[in-house]
Structure 1
Amino acid sequence: MKKTYLRSGAALLCAATLAACGGGGGGGNIPLIVRVVGLTEGSIKLKNNGGDELTTGNAPSGVSFSQAMADDKTYNVTISQESVSAKCTVSNGSGKINWYNRTVDVVCLPYERTLGGSISGLTGRGLTLANGASSLNVEAGATSFVFGEKVFQGLTYAVAVLRQPDGQSCAVVPATASGTVGAVNITNVTVTCK
């Protein structure tokens, strides 16, 4: 009878020791944290070890997968669904987790779009258009324009007249002057000159 108790006690002690050390198949208490930077809109889906899934937007402070992990367990974070607004890359996405190594970084680079439109009535020289810090000199007689610097999807744009042409007054049609950069190039900004 004594031997049965001793065997049972030894089995329980071994099981407890394995669980505490991360052995066995049980979960743990170490959160796997993901920091996402550069995602201006939308979200991405990530998977850990092909199973536990996390959907997140921009998260520079970090978010955690729902399943905590046991010490010394292997993690492998991959992107299972890309964002429609950016190309994202996982860095330090695999390894063995512990309290010192438990953060995965995802860096997203928003897609770039061109910004332009049409001009009517421009005969004078010297018209300069601006979008934030970006400016564009437009030749007399031009009927269209495209800024040299592209704009990031998910961010806003606001086109304005920075300098009027000689002998004329030009204005950006208010309905087309500003907005949020979407999934296609912007070609509908309208400038009229008198």
Structure 2
Amino acid sequence: MIRSPLRAGLALACALSLSACGGSSGNLYVGGSVVGNTKAGLVLTNNDGPRLEVPAGATSFVFKDLVETDSTYNVKVVASPPNTKPSTPGGTDGCKVVQGTGTGKAVFNVSTVRIVCTLQTYPLTARITGPHPGTLELVNGADRKVVAPTDATVQMTEIAEDAVYGLAVLKSEGQTCTIANGSGTMTTAGATVDVTCTAP
């Protein structure tokens, strides 16, 4: 009888998250983690077998069919969510497999496969109106930009689709600057935030 500390956890994950496991005569589970899975559309296979649809937001997966001890496994992404960024236009590799191949080891389930999805990003633009001759710095999370007195627009670091942004004035010396519509959720159209400055 196979004894593994991982098996009980994976079995519970099967029951609670995706689908009932144990659809074959094998004895080892194959699964792992998922990063960047924010929309439906991620589909995986193992050894070119049945397709596994991973729900949006899921951070782990386990295949329904088990594999035999010491048999090989080969996890592939056959479809990626529409908000991921493929390496070439029209490609399906917006999500990629890390450590997706190997051999099941005697008493260990496979839980080390990683699916990493790269999300599409879109521009976040700060539109500056009014005089700003002094020091002006804008911040969105860890992204920080210094605005020159001649700048009419500033491009912040692009934001992933469906991610939340919140642009704020970090420093304003020599003028008073306020922000309108500074926060929101990024869409495919990008976002423009208005920064209005007035001289003292």
TM score, norm. by length of structure 2 = 0.68
**1:109 maps to which residue?**
118
Matched, 1:162 2:167: no
**1:76 maps to which residue?**
74
Matched, 1:95 2:130: no
**1:193 maps to which residue?**
197
The alignment covers a number of residue pairs equal to 162
Any conservation in 2 of the 1:85–1:183 contact (CA below 8 Å)? no
CA RMSD of aligned residues (A): 2.5
Residues 41-60 of structure 1: pairs in structure 2 closer than 5 A: 41-43=38-40, 44-56=42-54, 57=56, 59-60=58-59
Q: List gaps (5 residues or longer) in structure 2.
A: 1-23, 85-93
Q: Considering fraction of residues, name the structure with more helix.
A: 1
Q: Give the distance between the partners of 1:178 and 1:40, measured in 2 at CA.
A: 23
**2:160 maps to which residue?**
152
Any conservation in 1 of the 2:37–2:58 contact (CA below 8 Å)? no
Q: Give the distance between the partners of 1:119 and 1:100, measured in 2 at CA.
A: 58
Shift in Å at residue 115 of structure 1?
1.8
Shift in Å at residue 123 of structure 1?
4.2
Amino acid of the residue matched to residue 118 of structure 2?
Answer: L
In the alignment, which of 128, 148, 172 is matched to residue 119 of structure 1?
128
Any conservation in 2 of the 1:40–1:85 contact (CA below 8 Å)? no
Percent sequence identity over aligned pairs: 28
TM score, norm. by length of structure 1 = 0.70
Matched, 1:140 2:144: no
Q: Give the distance between the partners of 2:144 and 2:120, measured in 1 at CA.
A: 21
Q: List gaps (5 residues or longer) in structure 1.
A: 1-25
**2:184 maps to which residue?**
179
Shift in Å at residue 171 of structure 1?
1.0
Q: Which has the larger radius of gyration?
A: 1
**3-state SS of 1:45 partner:** strand
**1:64 maps to which residue?**
62
